[in-house]
A and B are shown apart, each in its own frame.
Chain A
């Protein structure tokens, strides 16, 4: 057997090892119930509950933004995001939060939002009426 083959086999072995370990870095989107049970850091996907309040008072703490998220099971839960309120948060179609359950709040340290792609509605390309 050539040396190159030994190296190749070694690399494949390492690759398989790493790939098997990788699963630990991954998770499916959790729900609030699962986050409650596990207590671990999870990712939760859901949508903003627009009817409920969003609280951001930078004069009290610029790093706290509270809102309600509806997870994929339809359960609504209060979220504390440890960030300044993101731009255009209300427009997000989907919100993905990384964090864990703490007491009665889901404390999120990171977020990703998916914003709607360009609208195809007529109003978008109509000039604003001058009044």
Chain B
């Protein structure tokens, strides 16, 4: 079939680019391989040139694929499945990037993009290491490219698929009847980007994180190259720079993920030991361990083997992390949503290949790796740095082990189908209780090791200095720990120890910075990092242990549930609009809300009160919610954080009245209300009794309210009513006065007749839980239904007068541009409006302008209606021969006496929010500390780049 409107050329070019990128990476890997194998022969240079050329072709192809996908996305070519799945017409341009890497294929491309960039830098800087390093990098690219290849191999009904191609056409992937029509594209709309991801974090976090992931490949490539060439020392110098780069960027990426979770999502924290978080942390830990082993190796000759292993592990763990997060194996253990690509086996082969290469190289080169004959001294920096690296390894093993539980389950279930999968019952405490010790050890080591020297030449003489500094630091740290425990309420001694380790890292590194290196910035990188680590530990303890939900409400919670643990889970407060509520030392009031686009922003006022009720501080919070397209459901709750230097108040909305959250519920609620019909007479009050349920539910109160009809109009205004031409509207002004109290409420319900359908627009008085709408029978009484009317025919010439139901009227003339709101002009219409001047009973004059028109040889007419007289006028024909025009007039029954309205009491209040507020004390210490730690890595890199 020939389909209409498809753009197939970019797709074809894209397929070509994918094929080219894959083959060129393969060629590059091969050429660089031979360039390495034959490095001592004259042909090596040729191989290297082929490798370079092939890698550049590969790089250009990768850029082209990305460019083509962007082009398709920007133009919303929904014939491509990837475009249809990730964009939509209403997606703002600034989210195109986010949409690009929302899908797995896009994120693989982002990863490859960074590898290409890093590869080009390596070509220029790696020197003699270029061939072996680029050979490994190109091989990695071959595997990554295969993930988006989209080739079927094999025969029969179920051929094996290699990769998932992002340029597949929708109609080739989905079987659906609409593809039987050639113009199916007119019917297709985009899925759009998950609203939770429509956020600037989604624009900056993935590129940073993926650059971090991608950069782990470089130290890996150098490690492989070192083993491959049996040159076990030289590789460490360039590898260290890259490892520092990788550590800083990957760390930043992880931290951004935490900041995103904290700032924009409603997790209530920056870290939750979620599998996805864990598996991004572990490669970073190994990279940091590698940096330490590398430093030791460069300065003392020890730990070279460990440096190899750590760098290799860091990259292999990135691959493992990719496998875990993209294979769907984590299933329900993670809050992150995974879409499965069906490429599990391909990812396993990817991992196995590089694991195999690494193991082979490590075993075959094991003997040649230099190890100093003499064992390292216990009192040397290299020894304790190595112990520190081992602690990091230990931490990684524990984290990966627990995170791999679903993998373990899968393997055991394979051999024993009756096995019941295991899960970690309480994720956060499980990880915390072990990692706490890692924190203690690292904190103490990162302080003490700073005072030590590489290859300690004279410990008996030096140990006094060491003991002095370490001892003083420790003493001061103990004092500061005791002092800070006044602020941080830590109930277990383990936390005191961690706090002490944090302080010790801070004090000893400050000491090191001042007395040992005397502020020389060139030597300060490690001090900054370790200082930052200490600050971070204190921030974690302060914000984690003393995180406090302040949004519990003692009055609503009384005696509903016993048991402390469940009580702790009660974290929300309900706020009625305008009703102040007490909340943990604050008075909180939901003030109001505004809607802009799909975002509804709430204003919540907080007043901090002391025991006497004196207000010491007052501020407004603005959490918001995001509705989906069509306002039918809520897509996201976005938090709002009030920041202080020493704490954050983190708030978000956790719930709204069901009628605000769900359009369906709103309809059902309306149907189920118990409306009572009431006839209101103009000017007269109507008294009714309203039963009010009290909280203890056994008693109720009777409340007297008076309804007064203050006026009726025919041009209603209602927040939900969007006037259209041809509408006949009816609106009322009704005053509702409760007997007790001196407030009265004025509401304006509306009723609109559009074509044959009547639409009611009720009005709600939340304070009285009362809902009022105009009864549909009001149409009959106030407007009249045309079918029931008795039309009378008049044939008039221009200027002639007549009388109808006692009302004189005159055919004043015709208007060639009719001014009737019901008439919508189309091209080629011949239209005439007839001007009828009608004099009402009190002598008041009205003008009716019914319209007669011919559209497509069909004569038609549009009526006009004068609500005040109840008069209908139609202009039905023109006799050109006699110049007479025919009008039809009708009047509805005698003027209305009563306005029928329906009143529902006990309608649910819809003016409240469910609100959560958490105080995170000292959270800025966490951010400052972790940024300081990463900037230390960055500083180390800058210093080494300058020192070339």
Point out residues on A near B: beta carbons under 8 Å.
2-4, 7-8, 11, 14-15, 18-19, 22, 25-29, 41-43, 45, 56, 58-64, 82-85, 87-88, 94, 96, 98, 102, 107, 109-110, 112-115, 117-118, 120, 122, 124-128
Q: Is the CB of B402 within 8 A of A59?
A: no
**Contact (Cβ within 8 A) B187 A126:** yes
CA distance in complex: A41, B405 (Å): 20
* Contact A126–B637 (Cβ < 8 Å): no
Contact with A along B893-915 (1 / 0, CB 8 A): 00000000000000011001010
Q: Choose from A8, A59, A127 the contact partner of B188 (Cβ within 8 Å).
A: A127
Determine the distance from Cα of A43 to Cα of B376 in the docked complex, in whole angstroms.
Answer: 49
**Besides the known contacts A3-B375, A62-B574, A82-B569, 14 further A-B residue pairs in the complex with CB atoms under 8 A apart:** A4-B386, A7-B387, A18-B398, A27-B425, A41-B426, A58-B572, A58-B657, A61-B560, A62-B914, A63-B571, A109-B569, A110-B569, A125-B191, A126-B187
CB of B694 within 8 Å of the partner chain:
no
B429: min CB distance to chain A, Å: 8
Are B425 and A25 within 8 A (Cβ)?
yes
Q: Give the total of B residues in contact with A, Cβ under 8 Å.
A: 70
Docked CA distance A8–B574 (Å): 55
* Contact present for B434 and A18 (CB under 8 Å): yes
Q: Chain B's nearest CB lies how many Å from the CB of A56?
A: 7
Chain B residues in the interface with A (C-beta under 8 A): 78, 84-85, 170, 174, 176-178, 187-191, 331-333, 335, 337-340, 375-376, 378, 383, 386-387, 390, 394, 397-398, 401-402, 405, 420-426, 430, 434, 556-557, 560-561, 563, 565-566, 568-574, 630, 633-634, 637, 654-655, 657-658, 908-909, 912, 914, 916
Main secondary structure, interface of A, reads: mixed
How far, in Å, is A112 (CB) from chain B's closest CB?
6
Shortest beta-carbon distance from A108 to chain B in Å: 9
Q: How far is the CB of B902 from chain A (nearest CB, A)?
A: 23
The residue in chain B whose Cβ has the minimal distance to the Cβ of A27 is B425
Please state if B561 and A3 are interface contacts (CB–CB under 8 Å): no
Output the nearest chain A residue to B908 by Cβ-Cβ distance: A59
Residues of B within 8 A of A42 (CB): 425
Determine the distance from Cα of A114 to Cα of B330 in the docked complex, in whole angstroms. Answer: 11
A128 to B189, CA, bound (A): 9
Docked Cα-Cα span, A113 to B332, in Å, equals 7
Task: Judge whether B655 and A114 touch: CB under 8 Å.
Answer: no
**Which residues does chain A contribute within 8 Å of B556, judged by CB atoms?**
60-62
Query: How many Å from the CB of A101 to the closest CB on chain B?
Result: 12
In the complex, chain B residues whose CB is within 8 Å of the CB of A41: 425-426
**Are A87 and B394 closer than 8 Å at their CB atoms?**
no
Task: Write 15 A-B pairs (CB below 8 A) sorted by A numbering.
Answer: A3-B376, A11-B394, A15-B394, A18-B434, A27-B422, A29-B421, A58-B572, A58-B657, A63-B570, A94-B332, A112-B332, A112-B333, A114-B331, A125-B190, A126-B188
Interface pairs A-B: 3 shortest CB-CB: A122-B176, A84-B654, A28-B420
Question: Are A7 and B390 in touch, CB under 8 angstroms?
Answer: yes
Evaluate contact between A63 and B332: CB separation under 8 angstroms.
no
Residues of A within 8 A of B397 (CB): 15
If A7-B387, A61-B556 touch, does A127 touch B187 (CB 8 Å cutoff)?
yes
Cβ contact of A56, chosen from B78, B655, B916, cutoff 8 A = B655
Residues of B within 8 A of A102 (CB): 563
Q: Kindly report which residue of chain A lies nearest to residue B390, judged by CB atoms.
A: A11
Q: For residue B633, give the distance in angstroms from its CB to the closest CB of chain A.
A: 8
The interface residues of chain A lying within 8 Å CB-to-CB of B573 are: 62
A124 CA to B430 CA in the complex, in Å?
Answer: 41
Q: Is the beta-carbon distance between A25 and B424 smaller than 8 angstroms?
A: yes
Contacts of A60 in B (CB 8 A): 556
Q: Smallest Cβ distance from A128 to chain B, in angstroms?
A: 8
* A125 CB to nearest B CB, Å: 5
Whether B189 lies near A43 (C-beta < 8 A) is no
- Give A116 Cβ to nearest chain B Cβ, in Å: 10
A69 to B908, CA, bound (A): 27
What is the chain B residue whose CB lies nearest that of A12?
Answer: B394
List the A residue with the shortest CB-CB distance to B339: A117
> Does A26 contact B574, Cβ atoms closer than 8 Å?
no
CB distance from A70 to the nearest CB of B (A): 16
Contact A2 B187 (CB under 8 A): no
B561 adjacent to A107 (CB under 8 Å): yes
Instruction: Indicate if the CB atoms of B387 and A62 lie closer than 8 Å.
Output: no
B-chain residues with CB within 8 Å of residue A85 when the two chains form the complex: 655
Contact present for B914 and A84 (CB under 8 Å): yes
Q: Which residues of B contact A28 (CB under 8 A)?
A: 420-423
Asked if residues A109 and B565 are in contact (CB atoms below 8 Å), the reply is yes
Please tell me if the beta carbons of A114 and B332 are within 8 angstroms of each other in the complex. Answer: yes
User: Are the C-beta atoms of B176 and A59 separated by less than 8 Å?
Assistant: no
**Residue pair A107, B566 in contact (C-beta under 8 Å):** yes
Across the interface, A62 reaches (CB within 8 A) one of B332, B566, B637, B655, namely B655
The residues of A that contact B405 with a CB separation of less than 8 Å are: 26
| Given A62-B914, A84-B655, A26:B423 Cβ within 8 A | yes
- Report B-chain residues with C-beta under 8 Å of the C-beta of A96: 332, 423
Partner among A18, A19, A27, A45 whose Cβ is within 8 Å of the Cβ of B332: A45
Contact status B422-A19, CB under 8 Å: no
- Closest residue to B375 on the A side, CB-wise? A2
Contact (A3, B78) CB under 8 Å given A58-B914, A84-B572: no
Q: In whole angstroms, what is the CA distance A124 to B170 when docked?
A: 13
User: Do the beta carbons of B425 and A43 come within 8 Å of each other?
Assistant: yes
Query: How many Å from the CB of A11 to the closest CB on chain B?
Result: 6
**Contacts A25-B430, A27-B422, A41-B425 given: A82-B561 contact, CB under 8 Å?**
yes
Residues of A within 8 Å of B174, CB to CB, are: 120, 122, 125
Judge whether B909 and A59 touch: CB under 8 Å: yes
A114 to B191 Cα, complex, angstroms? 20
Assembly CA distance A112 to B405 (angstroms): 17
Residue of B nearest to A61 (CB): B556
Interchain nearest-CB distance for B669 vs A (Å): 13
Q: Which residue of the partner chain, among B189, B420, B572, B657, contacts A29 with CB atoms under 8 Å?
A: B420
Are B339's CB and A125's CB within 8 A? no
Interchain CA distance A115-B333 in the complex, whole Å: 12
Which one of A59, A82, A98 contacts B425 once the chains associate, using CB atoms below 8 Å? A98
Task: Tell me which residues across on chain A come within 8 A of B376, comparing CB atoms.
Answer: 3-4
Q: Are A58 and B912 in contact (CB under 8 A)?
A: yes
Residues on the B chain within 8 Å of A124, using CB: 191
State whether A26 touches B422 (Cβ < 8 A).
Answer: yes
Nearest to B190 among chain A residues (CB) is: A125
**Residue on A with the closest CB to B397?**
A15
CB distance from A33 to the nearest CB of B (A): 14
Q: A7-B387, A25-B424, A122-B176 are in contact. Are A62 and B78 (CB under 8 A)?
A: no
- Let me know if A29 and B78 touch, CB within 8 A: no
What residues of A have a CB within 8 angstroms of the CB of B340 in the complex?
117
Whether A83 contacts B332 by the Cβ 8 Å rule is: no
In the bound complex, CA of A29 to CA of B422 (Å): 7
B221 CB to closest chain A CB (Å) equals 28
Q: Tell me if B634 and A87 are in contact (CB < 8 A).
A: yes
A88 to B491, CA, bound (A): 38
Would A82 and B570 count as touching, CB distance under 8 A?
yes
Chain A hits for B572, CB < 8 A: 58, 62-63, 83-84
Asked whether A59 and B574 contact (CB < 8 A) given A109-B565, A122-B177, the answer is: yes
Please measure, in the bound complex, the distance between the C-alpha atom of A124 and the C-alpha atom of B78, giving whole angstroms: 13
A18 and B394 alpha carbons, distance in the complex (Å): 11
Residues of A within 8 A of B187 (CB): 126-127
B386 neighbours in A (Cβ, 8 Å) = 4
B178 and A22 form a contact (CB under 8 A):
no
Task: Select which of B402, B423, B571, B908 is within 8 A of A27 by beta carbon.
Answer: B423
Whether A56 contacts B658 in the complex (CB less than 8 A), given A11-B394, A126-B178, A126-B188, comes out as yes
Instruction: Write out the residue numbers on chain B whose beta carbons fall within 8 Å of the beta carbon of A29.
Output: 420-421, 423
Give the chain B neighbours of A3 by CB distance below 8 A. Answer: 375-376, 378, 383
Separation of A82 and B333 alpha carbons in the complex (Å): 20
Q: What residues of chain B lie closer than 8 Å to A107, measured between beta carbons?
A: 561, 566
What residue in chain A is nearest B635 (Cβ atoms)? A87
* A93: nearest chain-B partner, CB-CB: B332
Tell me if B569 and A63 are in contact (CB < 8 A): yes
Cβ distance A74 to chain B, nearest Cβ, rounded Å: 16
Which A residues touch B421, using CB under 8 A? 28-29
